[in-house]
Amino acid sequence: MTTLKGATNPHLPTPLVTAASEQTITVLLVDDQATVNEAIHCMLETEANLTYHYCSRAEKALQIATEIAPTVILQDLILPDSDGMTMVKKFRANPVTCDVPIIMLSTNDNPQTKAEAFAIGVNDYLVKLPNQIELVARIRYHSQAYLNRQAHTAALLAQAHAKELEQTLQELRQTQAQLIQTEKLSSLGQMLAGVAHEINNPVNFIFGNLTYIDTYVQDLMKLVQLYQDKHPEPDSAIQAHLEDIDYDFVMDDLLKMLRSTRMGAERIVQIVLSLRNFSRQDHQEMKPSNIHEGIDSTLLILSHRLKLGINVVKDYGDLPLVDCYPAQLNQVLMNIINNAIDALLDQPNQQKKEIIIHTSKINKNHIKIQIKDNGPGIPLAVQTKLFEPFFTTKPVDKGTGLGLSICQQIIANHQGTIQVISKPDEGAEFTIQLAVQSTVA
């Protein structure tokens, strides 16, 4: 192998992004005749940005070509150890040289031979010895076209990689959001289930005792009454005590207090039920569920915020039980209602703040839940990003921007849909559609 202007390392890959005129053209001549090498060498010697390599033996040609990565190959048609056509096929079969332009050099000017050469994949055909100007022009033309193709392919590849990276990043963010939310959901669920369990025991014995207290009080009152009947004139100490404690009032109030204590205990039992219903730690699987129960427990969990001046209108339709993961669906309801509360509480001057929850059957197998608030609404620019993970318009300590993206994922897991309609100053309405009988495993 002979190297003429070998200023660049032939082992390095061809530079792809330099300006066309600055790119080095690398020529490899495969020819057994030393005189041809000398002649071609002479023709190319003074050319700028051109590196010339020579190989006299076919058996070495492929190895040299893969080492120097030529931008054009000048291939002799007849060689002692092989023929030029076979060499062309070998170059075309090799991944490094398969696209490199090949100019066949031959003393044979027969059109049939030329046609055969083109048929097996040569790019050009010159009769030996070619004219210097023509040879240089063809070498430059083919090399440039090859380099341009390489640059184009590299740009496409880079684009594809960038797209792939972007997609991976997107998936990572999605997974991260999902993990955070799953963690939030399970911690909240566990906490609620724990609180419900802790309250449940004491409330049970308060409730149980109340029944006995009720009976005992009735008995004692009857006893006092009997005493009063038998001894209508009590002695002065008893009389003084009766007046002291305001006996008639105490008896009347005691019954009232017992009634309200029972109501209070019943309310605690309801709350415990709702907490358990919300967390549904005991029902992690898809099961036919009462949507209204889910909404009610969610409203109960959020009641401390609703009490700050928001009226909730429940407009419930006649719904069948709906296949769902109840804890996940409750999480969706909570995110949407919480957002509505945030939007309404952010309007200190608004008089009538309202959330309307409407449920209805769409057809035999589909239902919808609509949650509408009369808050400030969602600007169009925000609507397009609403379901993106980490998109929030709230201060750092108030919102993570995960709520709606998780809602979308959960509803998608249920093979349902979630949509928003909103006009500025007319509030926002979120609509969830679900199949009554799910096909999700």
Ligand X SMILES: Nc1ncnc2c1ncn2[C@@H]1O[C@H](COP(=O)(O)OP(=O)(O)OP(=O)(O)O)[C@@H](O)[C@H]1O
What is the contact surface with ligand X in residues (CB under 6 A)?
A: 335, 339-340, 343, 373, 375, 378, 382, 386, 391-394, 399-405, 428
| Closer residue to ligand X in complex, CB, 177/203 | 177
Task: Indicate the residue among 5 and 305 with the shorter CB distance to ligand X.
Answer: 305
Report the residue number, 271 or 411, with the smaller CB distance to ligand X.
411
Q: From the CB of residue 228, how many other CB atoms can be counted at a distance below 10 Å?
A: 13
Q: Which residues contact 300 (CB under 8 A, 6 or more apart)?
A: 271, 274, 278
Rounded to the nearest whole angstrom, what is the least distance from the CB of residue 413 to ligand X in the complex?
A: 17
Regarding 339 and contact with Mg ion (CB under 5 A), the answer is: yes
The site that binds Mg ion (CB under 5 A) totals a number of residues, namely 2
Count how many Cα atoms sit within 13 Å of the Cα of residue 128 in the half-sphere of its side chain: 19
Q: Which is nearer to ligand X, 36 or 404 (CB)?
A: 404
Residue 70 vs 403, nearer CB to ligand X: 403
Q: State the minimum distance, in angstroms, from the CB of residue 420 to ligand X.
A: 8
State the Cα–Cα distance between residues 223 and 218, nearest whole angstrom.
9
Nearer to Mg ion, 143 or 339 (CB): 339
CB of 142 to ligand X, least distance (A): 57
Candidate ranges 30-38, 45-53, 111-119, 331-339; the one touching Mg ion (CB under 5 A): 331-339
Report which of 378, 405, 377 is spatially closest to residue 390, judged by C-alpha positions. 405
Q: Taking the complex as a whole, how short is the minimal distance between the CB of residue 292 and ligand X, in angstroms?
A: 21
Tell me, residue by residue from 213 to 242, as one string, x for binding to Mg ion by CB under 5 A and - for no binding: ------------------------------
Contacting residues for 352 by C-beta, under 8 A, at least 6 apart = 311, 374
Q: How many other β-carbons are positioned within 10 Å of the β-carbon of residue 71?
A: 25
Can you tell me whether residue 153 is helix, strand or coil?
helix
State the nearest-atom distance from the C-beta of 328 to Mg ion, in Å: 16
Distance of CA 263 to the CA centre of its chain: 47
**Strands across the sheet containing 50-55:** 2-3, 50-55, 25-30, 72-76, 102-106, 124-127
Residue 306 contact, options Mg ion, ligand X, none, Cβ 5-8 Å cut-off depending on partner type: none
Shortest spacing between CB 395 and ligand X, in angstroms: 9
Q: Which two tokens stand for residue 176?
A: 């991260």
Left, alpha or beta for 69 (phi > 0: left; psi -120 to 50: alpha)?
left
* Separation of alpha carbons 40 and 29, rounded Å: 8
Q: Helix, strand, coil % (nearest 5) of the chain?
A: 55, 15, 30
Binding-site partner at residue 299 among ligand X, Mg ion, none, CB < 5 to 8 Å by type:
none
User: Token pair for residue 328?
Assistant: 């996940």
Instruction: Report the helix count and the strand count for the chain, using DSSP H and E.
Output: 12, 13
Tokens 């210097």 -> residue: 132
- Tell me whether residue 119 or residue 381 sits nearer to ligand X (CB atom): 381
Closest CA to 271 of 305, 299, 311, 310: 299
Q: How far is the CB of 340 from ligand X (least distance, A)?
A: 4
- Window of 142-150, 297-305, 325-333, 335-343 that interacts with Mg ion by CB under 5 A: 335-343
- Choose among ligand X, Mg ion, none what residue 382 binds, the Cβ cut-off being 5 to 8 Å by kind: ligand X
Closest residue to ligand X: CB criterion: 403
294, 389, 403, 427: which one contacts Mg ion (CB under 5 A)? 403
Query: Least distance in Å: CB of 393 to ligand X?
Result: 3
User: Which part of the chain contacts Mg ion (CB under 5 A), choosing from 132-140, 241-249, 283-291, 399-407?
Assistant: 399-407
Rounded Cα distance between 57 and 1, Å, is 9
3-state secondary structure 26-79: EEEEECCCHHHHHHHHHHHCCCCCEEEEEECCHHHHHHHHHHHCCCEEEEECEC
Residue 389 interacting with Mg ion (CB under 5 A) = no
Our CB check for ligand X shows the closer of 44 and 336 to be 336
How far apart CA 109 and CA 335 sit, in angstroms, is 81
Q: Which is nearer to Mg ion, 70 or 403 (CB)?
A: 403
Binding marks (x or -) toward Mg ion, 60..99, rule CB under 5 A?
----------------------------------------
Task: Output 101 or 375, the one with its CB closest to ligand X.
Answer: 375
CB of 439 to Mg ion, least distance (A): 29
- What is the smallest separation between the CB atom of 339 and Mg ion, expressed in angstroms? 4
Q: Given the rule CB under 5 A, which residues bind Mg ion?
A: 339, 403
